[in-house]
Every structure is written in structure tokens, then in C-alpha cells.
Chain A
Amino acid sequence: MDRYRISPITLLGIAPLLLAQPPEEKPEPVIATFKGTRLYNFHTSETPAHRHLEFRVAHRFGDLRQGYANFFGIDAGATVRISLGYGVLPWAEIGLERTGAGKWWNGYTKLRLLRQTAPRGMPISLTYIGMAFLTEATDPLRYRVLSDRWEYLHQLLIARKFSRRFSVLMGAAWLHQNMSLTPQALNDWLWALGGLRFKLFSRVTLIAEGALPLWKNALSSSAPFPNYHIPWSIGTEIETGGHVFQLGLTSAAGLSENQVLLTDRPLLRLGFNISRIFSLQGGPTYGKRE
């Protein structure tokens, strides 16, 4: 037992070594839980950096199962969504979007409420997204006054980066439609959201997402409105400097979240997203000395 006792002299010898150690590292926010602000159809937990502007274009083609006759849906023409998002604060984004399908305008506010830290501290990131949709579509039976044309979507997302390759997203979405799809249909709908990211190489990522309807009998034919479907997407992300390309396959209809979530029959559509980030921060050029 005596052998293991540390003598004061040994301690004196060690002390300078201990003093030489730099101060301990404190927990830091985890970066790049997801590559971008969207997984494929749905939002991730990420927002653009402070004073950075993100410009996005999303394309979805027709049903792949139309086969060669329609060149796997591509001949059917694409529906397009254009988005602008701006990081007004390090933890807040505002955005404006236009979706061709359904002539939807929408604005959103995205807040990062909690941020995962490493090596210890906060285990998850928590993000809220509030969206307001307004359609310009002509449907005299459904839309009579302006207030009929509004829909609201609230999402709460929990994200965690488990390793440098693997991140998971879980959350809930609540859609309120001022005017229901049919007189018998619900005005409020609820989903559980899930998504994941797996990094194959340093610039290539696999993504998957889905939304599970949570109302009663959602997936059976006796549901309040047609039997519902779980909209899912799989895809790959390729990063080339300031751009992120996402190529994917989705079962969802439409393109904006309120359409995607209310997919009533499964489709199979190819599509892609392109995003570009612009820094409006300005700031100095470091390191250059004349």
C-alpha cells in the first residue's frame, strides 16, 4: 500500500507540469448538425448565420411512375418554390417564400430556442418555426373572403448531432386551416416529424424525412378526409462551396409544407433544391498586411 503513496516531493515535481497546462476547454455550440436550413421538404434545426441571406430554389417534377413516356415525370414540368431567408439574429431567421403549386405565398419566423453544446452541457437543439400561408389560387367554392385563404403552421423541432456523421431530428407540426378542405374535414391537423442525416463523405450526405399523421383514423379510409399517407423523402446532399444541392425522391404532393403534410395519396417524384448563402456581414479582411 505504501508504494502507491505520493510523496510531497513527487507532488512538487509534478506541480510545474500541472501549471504548464492551459486552461480547460469550456463547452461550445455544436455546428453543422444539418448541412442546411431544410432537410428536403421540411425545415431542419438550422438557421442562416447572423446577417447572412439564404436564397433557395426548389423543383419537384411529376410522378416518376409515368415511366419513359413522360420521362419519369420530368416532361410533366416542375413546380417551383423560391425562398429567401435572412439571419436577423444569431438565433433568429425570417423568411419569405413563393410556391408555384397552389399559388402559395408564405412568410416564416424561425427561432433557435436551445442549442446543443459539446463536450458537455445542452444535449439537444430546440427550434420553433411559425409559418403563415396565403393562397392566390382561384377556387370560388372554397375561398370566398380573404380570411379563408390563410393557413398557419407551427413546428417544434428537437435535433441532436450524435456524431460527426449522424444527426437526428424529431418534432411536431400543427397546421390550422381557416377554411377546411371540405365542409366535413378538420381545420386543425397534427403530425409527428422525423428526419436524419448521415454523412457519407466530407461533402456528400444522405437525408431522409417523414411525417406521421396523428389524428384519429388518419391512415384508414374512414378518416374525416381521404385516407392519409405518410409523406416521406430520401435524398442526397452535395456541397460545392457556397452552394448546397439536394437531389431527392419524395412521396409528397405539392411543395410548400402545408401541401406536403396533407398528401392524400402517395406519389413518387424526383426533385432538387439549390441553396446559396450570401454574407451581408461585410467585415474586415484579416491577415493581409501591406
Chain B
Amino acid sequence: MVKENKISCWLFFLLTLLKAQRYEADSLIISFYSDAPLEKISAENQTGCYSYVDFRTDSVYVRVKIRGFSFPNKLMEEHFNENYLESDQYPFAYFQGKLIAPIPYTQPGTYAVSAQGVLLIHGVRRDRVLSGVYEVRSDGTLFLTGKFLVKPADHKITIPKLLWEKIAEEVEVSFRGRYIPKK
């Protein structure tokens, strides 16, 4: 009886240890900004992002719902979904990768972080290295911020020359989120 208890205690301890290495984003905001000479286009996604980092395997996973992007101009939002990202066929964008160097995620402080992996937008995969800054707070939560550039052409998002909507050849994507240990 005592031995069994001991084992289950160990198991419980091990499990919590494993769990504590997995951090999930409880708030993650992804926005983008296209700065063309005639028209500035920007959108923000507050509700459609799901992400976790598993420090046991150093793996990173991000899933972004395309319909979650909110534009100040709703016509642009419709075009973004219907003509550019074709969200009925490709409802999500993903990033799946591995941290290039391990992060001291239990030591409060600010660390640069990079992850190498696959960025999947509009059904087109691209190998990318994405970088950001991790801030480990004393309460054990992690704050992640960063930005990267996406070329629409890299993901077969075509922009007709005839179009009056001007879209930059490179779009700046920013992210900021809070990760908490998964219980």
C-alpha cells in the first residue's frame, strides 16, 4: 500500500514536471501591416490564434484562423478572405518548428529566441526562421513579441496589376502573446 502510494506520487510528480514544460498562449495577438505608396492596409487577429511551446522537445506550434483578422475596412476584409487568402479553402495559417537554442524558461529575464520550421500560409509551405524576444516574468509566465516579413508571392497569393488596392510586396507580421504553464 505504501509502495503503491509512493509510485503514484512519483508518477504525479513526473506528470506535473512534463506538463510544466508545455506553455500555452492564453492571449496571442497577430497583426500585419502593408505599407504601399497609396494605401496602408492593416489588420489584427485577437481571437483566432492558438499556440504552444513545449520545452521538453523545444517544439513550437502556432495556428492562426484567417477569418479572425479584423480590418478597419470590411470590404478589404472580405477581399482578404475571398480573393487573397481564400479562407474557405485554407481556413488556417500554421507555423510548426523547433527552437534553435534552448531557453532558460524558468529564469526571469529577457531572452532572444529563434525557431526554425515550416510556415504554412494559403496552403503553401515555406521553410523559415522566425525570431522574437521572450520575457520570463517572476510569476512564471512568458511574454513573446516579435515580427517577421512575409512576401505574398512566396505563398502564391497573387496581386493583379489591374487592382486599385495597392498591396506591398512584403507584409510585416507582428505577434505579441502571453504563454502560461499548461496545467
Contacts and interface: CB of A to CB of B under 8 A. Distances in A.
A282 B82 CA distance: 23
Interface in A13-28: 20, 22, 25, 28
A247 to B, nearest CB: 15
Interface in B47-78: 50, 52, 63, 65, 67, 72-75, 77-78
A164 B44 contact: no
Interface centre among A32, A203, A240, A287 (most CB of B within 10 A): A287
B96 interface: no
A164 B33 contact: no
B75 A49 contact: yes
Interface in A194-242: 202-203, 239-242
A8 interface: no
B43 interface: yes
B34 to A, nearest CB: 9
A50 B81 contact: no
A202 B83 contact: yes
A279 B164 contact: no
A68 B78 CA distance: 41
Interface string B7-41: 00000000000000000000000011100000010
A287 B73 contact: no
Interface string B70-109: 0011110111011100101101000000000000000000
A287 B43 CA distance: 7
B164 A241 contact: yes
B170 interface: no
Contacts of A76: none
Interface residues of B, number: 35
Chain A interface mostly helix, strand, loop or mixed? loop
A67 interface: no
A281 B72 contact: yes
Interface centre among A164, A242, A281 (most CB of B within 10 A): A242
B82 A279 contact: no
Given A286-B42, A287-B42, A287-B174, A242 B164 contact: yes
A50 B40 contact: no
Contact of A241 (B31, B50, B165, B174): B165
A288 B33 contact: yes
B70 to A, nearest CB: 8
B44 A241 contact: no
Contacts of B81: 31-32
Give the 6 A-B residue pairs with the shortest CB-CB distance, closest first: A49-B74, A241-B165, A287-B33, A241-B164, A287-B31, A283-B72
Interface of B: 31-33, 40, 42-44, 50, 52, 63, 65, 67, 72-75, 77-79, 81-83, 86, 88-89, 91, 147, 160, 162-165, 172-174
Interface of A: 20, 22, 25, 28, 31-32, 49-50, 52, 164, 202-203, 239-243, 277, 279, 281-289
